[in-house]
Amino acid sequence: MVKVDGIKILDATLRDGGLVNNFYFTDEFVKSVYAANIAAGVDYMEFGYRADKKQFAKEKFGKWKFSSDEDIREIVGENPTNMKISIMADVGRCDYRNDIRNKSDSPVDLVRVATYIETISEAIEMIEYADAKGYETTCNLMSISRCTMEQVTEALEQLSQTPAMGVYIVDSYGALYPKEVRKLTRLYSDKLGPVGKLVGIHAHNNQQCAFANTVEAKNMGAKLLDATAYGIGRGAGNCHMEALLGYLNGKKYHVEPILDLVRYSMLPLKEQGVEWGYNTAYLITGLTNQHPRDAIGATKVGNRDFREQFRYHSYE
Amino acid sequence: MVKVDGIKILDATLRDGGLVNNFYFTDEFVKSVYAANIAAGVDYMEFGYRADKKQFAKEKFGKWKFSSDEDIREIVGENPTNMKISIMADVGRCDYRNDIRNKSDSPVDLVRVATYIETISEAIEMIEYADAKGYETTCNLMSISRCTMEQVTEALEQLSQTPAMGVYIVDSYGALYPKEVRKLTRLYSDKLGPVGKLVGIHAHNNQQCAFANTVEAKNMGAKLLDATAYGIGRGAGNCHMEALLGYLNGKKYHVEPILDLVRYSMLPLKEQGVEWGYNTAYLITGLTNQHPRDAIGATKVGNRDFREQFRYHSYE
């Protein structure tokens, strides 16, 4: 049996999945995910972003773009479970001084601050703010495959002095291979371990490496592992929760509730036309270490000129 | 750019792919694969099995179940290219003494002998026979995830004394993780390297690890790398050729012809109803280290009782 000591699994089905349907999930769907995660032993469930309503029109998105305390509360009540609740706050897209209240008034336990490496100081401000309000915090360093090791080292040194409980390797472009994930996990561990912080991984599946990379990071000591049901997430999607919990299945984690969720909620969602998952356009942006936006566009219109897509991205 | 010194890429599209459509490929399809592989710089193209016509009724299969010299010749002529031709000969399913002629009379360059560990001595007989007839040979050790390290070690010691140019790690069940692939590649290299033989990998995609595992084996020194166009192959399929050549793309290998092949031949084949590729049933047999036959059956009839499939295989 695979060891799970200290592992914290976070389900990002609603948050990363919301990127493919503008966060329009039915309450019934959200409740199914919540119940399945609890039964499976998932440690954290992320409900969505807490986006700034002044920047994003409320009528253009489902409620999990904003994940208000009230909307979360409507699903989880007092959340009388062992599973904690998280939201994601993007640097520059979250009016955190107004929208993040005291923890004692909120069902949220963890605020994950997502940032590019260039905006790390704003991220640190947000982390300190949310910590002062009583939340657990992490920093999610996006597009890590575009950063130099020097940049990452510097960011980790800054983050090691914050109250964040952990920092994530976020492979936004699905560009990393297992070897690079091991190298990054080692670097993160070296910088964060001595100050008692955890290493996390959030993988994308452009090259079908999301699960393999998550397992590799775990083997190298990463403790915060992200996954989503049936891999739902932007573009090629994420590490499949049913794969990760199947791998870790045992006393602490149980894959069966997620297998049911795939059967009764995720495959039906796909069949209703919600699109995500590996294809050749996503492979190409992964191989060339590019943002998936062009591949999302190509997928939407059924553009199969892969030769041209590869040429374009190879010389970008 | 990724180093490709000494790498030999083998395309198994027709052979492993044939397992999903009983080898009924049109000549036009076969010619497209052949042309794409040549343009891409692929080193070997496997045309199919050389199955015994006394055991397998000719009318139940397409011609690439048998891959006669004549049928191959009809596609490749004198094969005036740098790409070599291979066939697979299964222990117990190939009447090699009658069906493998002298190399000088055949378009085939390489005979790959596939065997379970229990029939290794028959495999060695076949390897010696084909070598004596003038062919290059390899041994493909199937279902390696079910073997103990002691069994594998013993098999490699025996094979190191044969004329085989290499031995493959064949992850028939798609059960291996990168860490295990590295361990096996190291063991293979230790046993085969000193006698000048190559290590090969043939990965299956049950847990979406086929590409990651192939890259890992390559990083550990494996030189013989199998892939198929769009991953076509039994059950969850194989390492995608367009992923592997995208990764290795450069002076020697060119991904573009395979991207065109995906567009004009592989996606249309899928759309005609030929079924392969990752799904939850295959994930389950991969996770539980089982033969994919039950998952193939479940996929065929659309059985989505994943909970029961997992329960059944976990206690087998």
* Tens-place pLDDT, residues B88-100: 999 999 999 999 9
What does the pLDDT read at residue B42? 98
Which of chain B's residues have a Cβ under 8 Å away from the Cβ of A249? 287, 314
Residue B316 has pLDDT above 60, yes or no: no
What does the pLDDT read at residue B135? 98
DSSP, collapsed to helix, strand or coil, labels residue B12 as: coil
What does the pLDDT read at residue B246? 98
Q: What is the mean pLDDT of residues B48-62?
A: 97
Using alpha carbons only, what angle is made at residue A64 by residues A59 and A65, rounded to the nearest 5 degrees? 60
What does the pLDDT read at residue A234? 98
Residue given tokens 């011609």 in the structure block: B63
Beta carbons within 8 Å of A62's beta carbon, 6+ residues apart: A18, A21, A22, A23, A24, A25
Shortest Cα distance from B224 to chain A (angstroms)? 19
Q: What is the mean pLDDT of residues B110-124?
A: 98
What does the pLDDT read at residue B1? 81
Residue B51 has pLDDT above 60, yes or no: yes
Which domains are delineated in chain A? 8-271 (3.20.20.70), 280-314 (no CATH)
Q: Which of B85, B134, B136, B143 is nearest to B114 (CA)?
A: B143
What does the pLDDT read at residue B198? 98
Residue B165 tokens read as 């140019």
Average pLDDT, chain B: 97
Residue B62 has pLDDT above 60, yes or no: yes
Are residues B131 and B100 in contact, defined by beta-carbon separation less than 8 angstroms?
Answer: no
The CA distance from A23 to A49, in Å, is 9
Which of chain A's residues have a Cβ under 8 Å away from the Cβ of B263? 280, 304-307
Query: Smallest Cβ distance to A263: which of B209, B211, B306?
Result: B306
Q: Which of A16, A36, A14, A41 is nearest to A25 (CA)?
A: A14
Q: pLDDT tens, B146-194?
A: 999 999 999 999 999 999 999 999 999 999 999 999 999 999 999 999 9
ipTM score of complex: 0.97
Dihedral of CA A168/A174/A175/A176: which sign?
positive
Do A259 and B208 make contact, defined as CB atoms within 8 angstroms? Answer: no
Query: Smallest Cβ distance to A310: which of B209, B215, B256?
Result: B256
Do B304 and A212 make contact, defined as CB atoms within 8 angstroms? Answer: no
Do B287 and A243 make contact, defined as CB atoms within 8 angstroms? Answer: yes
What does the pLDDT read at residue B91? 98
Query: Smallest Cβ distance to A247: which of B287, B305, B310?
Result: B287
Q: pLDDT tens, A31-88?
A: 999 999 999 999 999 999 999 999 999 999 999 999 999 999 999 999 999 999 999 9
Beta carbons within 8 Å of A65's beta carbon, 6+ residues apart: A18, A22, A23, A48, A49, A51, A56
Residue B220 tokens read as 């550990």
Q: Which residues of chain A have pLDDT under 50?
A: none
The CA distance from B124 to A305, in Å, is 46
What does the pLDDT read at residue B315? 74
The CA distance from A8 to A12, in Å, is 13
